[in-house]
Amino acid sequence: MRITQNMMSNLFVRNIQKQTEAMLQRQEQLVSQKRINRPSDDPGGMARVLDGRSTLVAIDQYVENIKQGKSRLEITEMTLAQVDDLVQQARKLAEVNSDAEITPEQRALAAEKVKGIYDHVMQLANSRFGDRYMFAGYQTDRAPFARNANYNATYHDSPPATPDPADTGSFQIPIADNVKVSVDADGRNYFGDGATGVFFELQKLINGLENTTDPAAGTAAIRTTVDPLEAAHVQIMNKRSEGSPKLYRLEASEQYWTHFKPMVMEAMGRDEDADITRVAVELNNLRTAYETSMAAAAKIIQRGLVDFLG
């Protein structure tokens, strides 16, 4: 087979083009410090990198959810601790003022204290976390509890017109794919609905303390609130105890994601990050090969073509 000048020229051109492309690729890798700068560099590796990036976004969102959830549980615990203290104060006032020898003036003073306790408990029951009411069930944009001038409390909540079967009106904290920690957000489970529970017993206590027309009936009414207020204290303690295992689970999940994230980043780095020392050596070798090719071309191919390539 006869090798023509044109065949040699085409061969040199193809080799030089390949060397130039390889050098440009290594230079880009040195600048970006990435082995993969576009899908065509390594389709399989790019697919793994993109999957890793999606995983990192999800991890960051889960960690943020967990932080929000921890804050929610901590605020709930602080709120219920204050409510518990107020309920015990009210129970103590009921015990002290259930004695028939207590004067009307003393009971009137106690009634004012209980009214203050009532309003303080309602303020706490209407606490917000961010822009949402914490104990409002479905209607998180509306204060769950209200009262009238006679201290009759009502709870405002109703399921949506087309309820989601998975939505129980609780606060959901997504911590993993299809995994949520649920925090009870129905205020009735904490404080009653007004016809029962803390507000109902406090109203009865106020009425008993203010009953000056029939002191004996007032005393009887006061005594009937002692045990229910103790039961309210127990109920609040039970709800407080629900937070500890959930807080532990959130902390464990946060620790898991904190340790898992660097593993994902390391796996991505094996696909995506360039070995700078290796790339620099490869670039130097390619430059040497390029210069050698150009020198060989200058000796073999006609000067006009070499000048053109140069």
Domain with 178 in it: what CATH number? Answer: 1.20.1330.10
Q: Which of 237, 260, 283 is the last residue of a domain?
A: 260
Q: Does residue 226 register a pLDDT over 70?
A: yes
Both 292 and 203 in a single domain? no
Both 72 and 146 in a single domain? yes
Residue 243: other Cβ atoms inside 10 A: 17
More reliable by pLDDT, 256 or 17: 256
Mean pLDDT of 230-255: 94
Question: What is the pLDDT confidence band of residue 185, given thresholds at 50, 70 and 90?
Answer: confident
Mean pLDDT of 187-202: 92
Both 199 and 154 in a single domain? yes
Q: What's the pLDDT at 276? A: 62
Both 59 and 177 in a single domain? yes
Both 18 and 70 in a single domain? no
283 lies in a domain?
Answer: yes
Both 232 and 304 in a single domain? no
Mean pLDDT of 178-194: 90
Among 16-20, 44-48, 125-129, 266-270, the minimum mean pLDDT is found in 16-20
Among 18-27, 126-135, 156-165, 287-296, the minimum mean pLDDT is found in 156-165
Q: Is residue 261 a contact partner of residue 53, using CB atoms and an 8 Å limit?
A: no
40 lies in a domain?
Answer: no
Both 60 and 100 in a single domain? yes
More reliable by pLDDT, 97 or 25: 97
Domain span at residue 147? 51-260
Tokens of residue 31, six digits: 């600048």
* Distance (Å, whole) CA 240 – CA 290: 74
Question: What is the pLDDT confidence band of residue 280, given thresholds at 50, 70 and 90?
Answer: low
Domain tally, the chain? 2
Using CA atoms, how far residue 269 sits from 34, 67, 256, 260, 266, in Å, is: 9, 27, 20, 14, 5
Among residues of the chain, what percentage have pLDDT more than 90? Answer: 53
Both 66 and 200 in a single domain? yes
Q: What's the pLDDT at 283? A: 62
Mean pLDDT of 75-94: 96
Mean pLDDT of 76-98: 96
Q: Is residue 203 a contact partner of residue 153, using CB atoms and an 8 Å limit?
A: yes
More reliable by pLDDT, 4 or 185: 185
42 lies in a domain?
Answer: no
Q: Does residue 298 register a pLDDT over 70?
A: no
Both 196 and 103 in a single domain? yes
Q: What's the pLDDT at 174? A: 92
88 lies in a domain?
Answer: yes
Global pTM reads: 0.74
Q: Does residue 150 register a pLDDT over 70?
A: yes
Both 27 and 174 in a single domain? no
Both 176 and 285 in a single domain? no
Question: What is the pLDDT confidence band of residue 14, given thresholds at 50, 70 and 90?
Answer: confident
Q: What's the pLDDT at 36? A: 66
Both 213 and 91 in a single domain? yes
Q: Does residue 309 register a pLDDT over 70?
A: no
196 lies in a domain?
Answer: yes
Q: Does residue 142 register a pLDDT over 90?
A: no
Chain segment 159-178, per-residue pLDDT in tens = 555 555 555 668 889 999 99
Question: What is the pLDDT confidence band of residue 138, given thresholds at 50, 70 and 90?
Answer: confident
Q: What's the pLDDT at 165? A: 54
Among 51-65, 164-178, 203-217, 295-309, the minimum mean pLDDT is found in 295-309
